[in-house]
Structure 1
Amino acid sequence: MNTVQTLPSAVKALKRQGTDTTLNADEDVASSLPADAGPPPLRDLATKRIITILINYAFLAWTEQACSVLVALIYPTPISYGGLGLSTFAVGIIMSCLGVLIGLSSVFVFPRAIARYGALIDGAQGSFFVLLSQAAPTKSSLGAINGLAQTVACTMRIFAPFISSSLFSLSQERNLLGGTMVFWIIELVVILGVVAASRIEEPPESQDE
């Protein structure tokens, strides 16, 4: 009998039986989970908490893109027009060095910063997606909420370069606030973003647990 049990056909049968048992157990676990309803309509996602998080994401995306565009404009702009008057070669060297520094900091500085200050401070920007996941009423609505967030962020990134560059040109052309009006407007947007961040509601205790 022991010799029969070691035959390849018998071994395959035992393995097949074990696999079937595992699959049946997985099916039992899946069937025990509560059935999730279909994706809710967008109007059901327009809750105060979700809208507040999306507004904060919009402020962050707009400010980030606007500042990136202004940096590229300030470098080559003559000093008389509020820029730094750098040559194209100097701008290329600065941007290349910046990329190298970012890569090195990701390897040597970022791990130490997380160990000292914690991931909450260093990875605060990624908390938007955690907040959105917590604000989702059902699992099936996660895709719609993340899609809305990306749509809002992409829309802000589309208009931010046009608005910031136009404000920079207008500030320099008409000498508005000494040519610094664009920076004051960005500061105002940042302040409004901080105010919006203070409006984010705490997640319910049931979700935290």
Structure 2
Amino acid sequence: MSPDPTSQQVDEETPLLQSEENAPAKTPQTPLPWGQFSMLLVLQIAEPMAASVISPFAPQLIRDIGITHGDEALVSFYVGLVHSLFFATEALTIFHWSRLSDYIGRKPVLLIGLFGLSLSMFCFGLSKTFWSLVISRCLSGALNGNIGVMKSMTAEMTDSTNLARAWAFIPLAWSSGLTLGPLVGGVLARPADRFPNIFGGSGFLKKYPYFLPCAVPATMSALTWIVVFLYLKETATPQINISQLLPWKKRKTVPSPALESPLVSSPVGDTPVPIRALFVRRVIIATGSYAGVALVEIAFRTVQPVFYATPISLGGLGFDTPTIGIVLAVQGILNGITQPLAFARLHDVMGPKKLWLFAVTCALPMIALLPASNTLARYSGVVQSVWCLVALQVALGSCMNFAYGISFMYISAASPNRASVGATNGFAQVIVSVMRAIGPAAVNYAFSISIEKHYLGGNLVYCAMAGMVCMVMGIGFLLPRTMSTK
């Protein structure tokens, strides 16, 4: 697919997506390449499924391995630490994976990431000590560079007329993973106890009660690896042959033509720009918007199952593991429905900046409903009105996720040129991974001391999360009104 013939010659400081107000006429919408794009959507399911499958049983797993020595206030701290480790190690490696994909192509990096995801989930399911959990989560984060690479491929498969539609479907796949993960984790955890007629005779599942739910996303990642290897086409022109990276091969740079990305208005004859070229205002602001949303979302998503599992008397709702899994699954289903149905339409009506600000603002009442539902449960128990608050919270979470698609579009628009889309997404993902590493540990520590010390009436963690939202909204006001910074 070639660039829009109406585009003008520009330099590398021009964003990849042009402002609508500068376009001479509204061009027909290009159909999405569903054959290839659908494989990316399937690939998108694997990672959130692997990440979220542990959420329903993580509090009980921490109790089972005995690291807290019976101190309930420490459970949330260790749960947050387990969640953070993936993103901490990912932050150290993901830019290098994304940068590497600019040189050797996207597909080899995706295959490495899927292999690492599958291996690490099998290891997690076999873990019997806290340190084995640590190693498996670190392995998963270090080998996984797929997030940035998939976003680069999405940008390269689309153009300015259908990019918003593509980003509307990406959350559907992501939400499918977030739906399947909690369902699998909630239903299949401790199968010998929950389904004695089926699994009661398995000594292996009694010894490793969390292996089965972990094996499901691990197996799915392995099957996805086969599909990607056989059918997914490369979207970037490799700058070097992958064999040249081997130490016994003579390294020789292979000149390559301009990448055939359909994104418009980039220089002809692109090559990846130096890392320092990414430190420009539009890249930093776009990255900040994405990182801010990710911080708020991961903080809430980490506290949410711990809050549900915590006894009402200690500030939670006292749900059991299957109930937590069902609530999180419904949340994923609702998000998956609303994104493709409403995102592109709201984007066209409100514009990217207003939609982003609206989405982030929804996080404030979403957070406030945590202490509100506990207060109601203390007086009346978990009755219908409490479930209404939980349902409203889930709906607000779906609205907040609109901000992700907008941030992805801003990042794609900010790339210095087509050949640096991978590096730009990788740079953004590094910052996001740092936020996602800090967020779970920080908010779960705040949740622990809120319970233990009863700071601000036990609401310290919610005040901290609301403060995060306010800071993120400040970044949003710096976003350009359209995708062009000029």
What is the TM-score when the length of structure 2 is the normalising length?
0.32
Give 1:12-27 correspondences, 5 Å limit: none
SS, match of residue 75 in structure 1: helix
Which whole-Å CA distance do the structure 2 matches of 1:97 and 1:66 have between them?
19
Task: Check if 1:139 corresponds to 2:418.
Answer: yes
Q: Distance in 2 between matches of 1:133 and 1:110?
A: 19
Code of the residue aligned with 1:51 in structure 2: it is: I
1:199 aligned partner? 478
Provide the aligned length of Structure 1 versus Structure 2: 171
Deviation at 1:91, TM superposition (A): 2.7
Q: 2:318 aligned to 57, 76, 85, which one?
A: 85
Q: 1:43 aligns with which of 276, 283, 297?
A: 276
Give the superposition deviation at 1:129.
2.2
Report the CA distance shift for 1:142/1:34 in structure 2 as closer, same or farther (over 3 A): closer
Which blocks of at least 5 consecutive residues in structure 1 are unaligned?
1-26
Q: Which amino acid aligns with 2:412?
A: S
Deviation at 1:161, TM superposition (A): 1.5
- Per-residue Cα deviation, 1:124-165 (whole angstroms, up to 9, x for no partner): 421222212222222222121011112222222222221111
Q: CA deviation at 1:97?
A: 4.5
Are residue 59 (structure 1) and residue 338 (structure 2) matched? Answer: no
Deviation at 1:47, TM superposition (A): 0.8
Q: Give the Å deviation of 1:98.
A: 4.2
Picking from 460, 469, 476, the partner of 1:181 is: 460
Work out the CA distance in 1 between the residues paired with 2:327 and 2:271: 51
Counterpart amino acid of 1:48? Answer: R
CA distance in 2, matches of 1:34, 1:53: 21
Give distance in 2, aligned partners of 1:188 and 1:36: 45
Q: Which residue of 2 aligns with 1:68?
A: 301
Give me the whole-angstrom Cα distance separating, in 2, the residues matched to 1:201 and 1:195.
13
Find the residue that maps to 2:309 and give its secondary structure. coil
Q: Write out per-residue CA displacement over residues 39-83 of structure 1, whole angstroms, 9 at most, x where no aligned residue.
A: 211112101221111122111111111101111111121122111
Larger radius of gyration: 1
Q: Show the counterpart of 2:436.
A: 157
Partner of 2:405: 126
Name the CA distance, whole Å, in 2 between partners of 1:84 and 1:63.
21
Q: Distance in 2 between matches of 1:40 and 1:115?
A: 31
CA positional deviation for 1:171? 1.3
- In 1, the alpha carbon distance for the partners of 2:267 and 2:457 equals 63
Structure 2's unaligned 5+ residue stretches are 1-256, 261-265, 356-398
- In structure 2, how many angstroms separate the alpha carbons of the residues matched to 1:151 and 1:118? 27
Hey, what's the Cα distance between the residues in 2 that align with 1:115 and 1:62?
24
Q: Distance in 2 between matches of 1:143 and 1:116?
A: 28
Asked which structure has the greater RCO (Cα within 8 Å, sep 6+), the reply is: 1
User: Counterpart in 2 of 1:20?
Assistant: none
Identity among equivalent positions (%) equals 33
Structure 1 residue matching 2:297: 3-state secondary structure: helix
TM-score (norm 1): 0.69
Q: What RMSD over aligned residues (CA atoms) do the two structures have, in Å? A: 2.9
The 1:124/1:42 distance shift into structure 2, 3 A limit, reads: same
Deviations 1:154-208 (A, max 9, x none): 2222222211111100111111100101100110000000011101235245xxx
Distance across 2 between alignment mates of 1:167 and 1:160: 10
CA–CA distance in structure 2, aligned partners of residues 165 and 39 of structure 1: 40
